[in-house]
Amino acid sequence: MEFLHALLIQPFVDMVMEPAFFIETVTKGLMAGVLYSLVALGFVLIFKASGVFNFAQGVLALFAALTLTGLMEIMEPIGMPKALVVILAIAATIVVMVLLAIVIERLVLRPLVNQELIILFMATLGLSYVLEGAGDLLWGSDVKVLDIGLPTDVWDINGVFVEQLDVTAAVAAGSLVAVLAVFFTKTRIGRALRAVADDHQAALSVGISLQQIWVIVWSVAGIVALVAGIMWGSKSGVQFSLSLIALKALPVLILGGFTSIPGAIIGGLIIGLGEKVVEVFWYSVHGGAVENWFAFMLALVFLMFRPQGLFGDKIIERV
Asked whether residue 203 carries a pLDDT value surpassing 80, the answer given is no
* pLDDT confidence bin for 314, thresholds 50/70/90: low
User: How many residues would you count in the chain?
Assistant: 319
* pLDDT confidence bin for 192, thresholds 50/70/90: confident
Average pLDDT over residues 224-232: 86
Asked whether residue 55 carries a pLDDT value surpassing 60, the answer given is yes
| Contact between 166 and 31 (Cβ < 8 Å) | yes
Tell me the pTM. Answer: 0.84
CA angle 167–173–178, rounded 5-degree value? 125
Asked whether residue 84 carries a pLDDT value surpassing 80, the answer given is yes
**What local confidence, expressed as pLDDT, does residue 313 receive?**
66
Distance CA(189)–CA(215), nearest Å, equals 12
Asked whether residue 198 carries a pLDDT value surpassing 70, the answer given is no
**What local confidence, expressed as pLDDT, does residue 216 receive?**
86
Q: Which residues pair with 161 in a beta bridge?
A: 156
**What local confidence, expressed as pLDDT, does residue 121 receive?**
85
Annotate 263-282 with three-state secondary structure: HHHHHHHHHHHHHHHHHHHC
Distance CA(66)–CA(119), nearest Å, equals 28
Asked whether residue 193 carries a pLDDT value surpassing 60, the answer given is yes
DSSP-derived 3-state class of residue 153: coil
Q: Which residue has the higher pLDDT, 94 or 309?
A: 94
Asked whether residue 319 carries a pLDDT value surpassing 70, the answer given is no
* pLDDT confidence bin for 208, thresholds 50/70/90: confident
**What local confidence, expressed as pLDDT, does residue 67 receive?**
93
**What local confidence, expressed as pLDDT, does residue 95 receive?**
94
CB-side neighbour CA atoms (13 Å) of 119: 9
Average pLDDT over residues 291-306: 86
**What local confidence, expressed as pLDDT, does residue 92 receive?**
94
Q: Which residue has the higher pLDDT, 137 or 5?
A: 137
Contacts for 40 with CB less than 8 Å, ≥ 6 apart = 249, 252, 253, 256, 264, 267, 268
pLDDT, averaged across the chain = 83
DSSP 248: H
Average pLDDT over residues 31-59: 81
**What local confidence, expressed as pLDDT, does residue 316 receive?**
57
Average pLDDT over residues 228-244: 81
Span 254-265, pLDDT tens digits: 888 887 878 888
* Of 84-98, 137-151, 275-289, 302-316, minimum mean pLDDT range: 302-316
**What local confidence, expressed as pLDDT, does residue 87 receive?**
92
Asked whether residue 13 carries a pLDDT value surpassing 90, the answer given is no
Average pLDDT over residues 227-254: 81
**What local confidence, expressed as pLDDT, does residue 99 receive?**
93
Distance CA(168)–CA(176), nearest Å, equals 12
Average pLDDT over residues 181-206: 76
Asked whether residue 318 carries a pLDDT value surpassing 70, the answer given is no
How large a percentage of the chain has pLDDT more than 90? 9
